[in-house]
A and B are shown apart, each in its own frame.
Chain A
Amino acid sequence: MRSDQSKLGFYLLLSPLLLWLVTLIILPHMGLFAVSISEKVGVREYETGFGNYAVFFNEPLYWRTFARTAIMSIMTTVLTLLLGFPIAYYIAKLMRGRAKTTLFLMCLIPFWVSELVRTFGWMILLRETGVLSNFLQFTGVIDGPVEFLYNDAAIMVGLVYTSILFMIVPLVTTLDSLDDSLIEAGYDLGGSGFSILREIVIPHAMPGIVSGCIVVFMLSLGNYLTPILLGGKDSLWFTGLIYTQFITRFNWELGSAFGFLLLALSSTIVFLGLKLSRQSLTNTMGR
């Protein structure tokens, strides 16, 4: 009787999870793949084949955009790590008590605000009539208004801005758990600042670094707002291509193939990241 009841309870708990995962995650992605390998041959007539993927590899615009998106996302990830690590270290190791909480909170606030608002802020700052251009004219660095928006540097600034907090938060969490006495011991044993960083701090922070890098890479790869708004007409981003195929061209087959390629790329990088650092998804993401 008891075990029957707990069996029933178990299945009652299991069903919402299965319903959620099967109908919203597993089946849709299988469906996406199915659509991506179907080619339209007539009105509501389809053939199975890899034609959509062939289109992708034969059209330089498509695969170049893909490569460009990947490379810029990797650059964003590296840049956020380099810029964010000192900040995370400062918050975790050099601050105490209330000052630490306040600094951490100040990092979190922009991350709670909608990405749209943050991007809008950068548009106001960087546009030709914007704050930066006017400031530089005022100080005499430049003579006339300069357009800082609509180039790759603007995209990078925006991407780093939107994702750096996802790097800092896991880094602060892992660095916080590093005992100060380990670093002191390193100095006592004659280590230099650099060797302590390399031999003690970074190995300890590895789970944080990996989970930060994964999240930042994924967010940049899947970002749509920042490249579209800060990058202007000529700078292509792969999610923009997916949007065009789906919503503007209504070519869902090609769009699905694009979507699947993006998914494959992001999963591969996540998998490689986890393998290289010998972490598991459960450890890094489940926290």
Chain B
Amino acid sequence: MIPTVPQSSVLKWSYRAYVTLFFVYLALPLSVVCVFAFNNSLFPSLPWEGFTLAWFFGTEAPFIGVFHERSILRAIGTSAFVAVWVAGLSVAVGTCNAFLFVRHDFRGKGILYILMLLPLIIPGVILGISILVFASSVANTLEDATGRWFDGLRPGLILVILGQFSFITTFATLVISARLQKFDRSLEEAALNLGATRWGAVRQITLPFLLPAITGAGVVAVLMSFENFNTTLMLVGSDSPLTITMFDKLKHGSTPVLNAVSLLLIILSATLGVLSLLFQRSKDKD
């Protein structure tokens, strides 16, 4: 079934109807989340009690809006802190990996490449518990040996950052490698002929060429880190990131303040997503 081959109109219209229905299915949950952020009721459900902005700006209990709800603001701060670290680390390591896999041939490259892809097929919960178990046993050994405390290796933000970093790096590596593969090496050679040092040529020629991919990978890393739940759940300590905080509130019954946070999250992720696509677009033009 392609446009150039005629089809019966019944088939064509039922196909179209199915596609429409599918997009309704896609849009429905997100739309209700957004709509109920403006419901003037204590529960995110029907009946509709009228329009309000209290779940964003409200200051009086029980109508405390997002911008005045301490626990949520703190969780957003924690998430942002984690996301920045994860993005920085994974982009840095991802760039190194890209150079290694695209530029070098060595024994064991195939195996290392498969190992690099493994985090994609390990369930997030397993990544979380394996890092938790490993970090704790290292901490136990160190504490027994030195008699000091190693709190950084106990559940907490450092482990959350490491856990998210452990699989987001794979995505960063793939995005940056794809771009590096398109790079014309004669540009670098020209720089070397003109007297640049090796590192100078990479810094002034190759890295600027990679910049769209690096930025795009960074944006995707921030997005993935902000939204990660499974790995984070197993590694979280007393400071919980936004998704964990929201999950706890959701389990204990929720007010529409969660809808308001979700609406902000939807806007944020849509913006970041479109941004990462724009970087990809500028990538294709060169």
Contacts and interface: CB of A to CB of B under 8 A. Distances in A.
B2 A93 contact: yes
A270 B121 CA distance: 8
B130 interface: yes
Interface in B86-117: 92-93, 96-97, 99-100, 104, 106, 110, 112-117
Contact of A129 (B45, B226, B229): B45
A114 B129 contact: no
Given A87-B22, A252-B133, A17 B250 contact: no
A159 interface: no
B61 interface: no
Interface in A178-221: 180, 183-184, 187, 193, 214-215, 218, 221
A28 B97 contact: no
B233 interface: yes
Helix, strand, loop or mixed for chain B's interface?
helix
Nearest to B124: A222
A87 B169 CA distance: 31
A5 B198 contact: yes
A123 B262 CA distance: 13
B257 to A, nearest CB: 12
B223 interface: yes
A26, A124, A184: residue with the most chain B Cβ atoms closer than 10 Å? A124
Contact of B45 (A112, A127, A180): A127
Nearest to B98: A13
B104 A13 contact: yes
Interface in A219-258: 221-225, 229, 239, 242-243, 246-247, 252, 255-256
Contact of A113 (B32, B123, B266): B266
B123 A20 contact: no
Contact of A28 (B15, B28, B131, B227): B131
A39 B156 CA distance: 27
Nearest to A180: B2
B134 A110 contact: no
Contact of A112 (B1, B126, B174, B269): B269
Given A121-B33, A224-B233, A17 B116 contact: yes
A40 interface: no
Interface of A: 5, 9-10, 12-14, 16-17, 20-21, 24-29, 31-32, 35, 83, 86-87, 89-90, 93-94, 96, 103, 105-110, 112-118, 120-125, 127, 129-131, 134, 161, 180, 183-184, 187, 193, 214-215, 218, 221-225, 229, 239, 242-243, 246-247, 252, 255-256, 259, 262-263, 266-267, 270, 281-282, 285-287
Given A86-B15, A86-B18, 7 more contacts: A90-B15, A121-B262, A129-B43, A184-B2, A222-B123, A224-B125, A281-B114
Closest 7 CB pairs of A and B: A121-B29, A222-B123, A28-B130, A28-B134, A112-B273, A24-B166, A114-B227
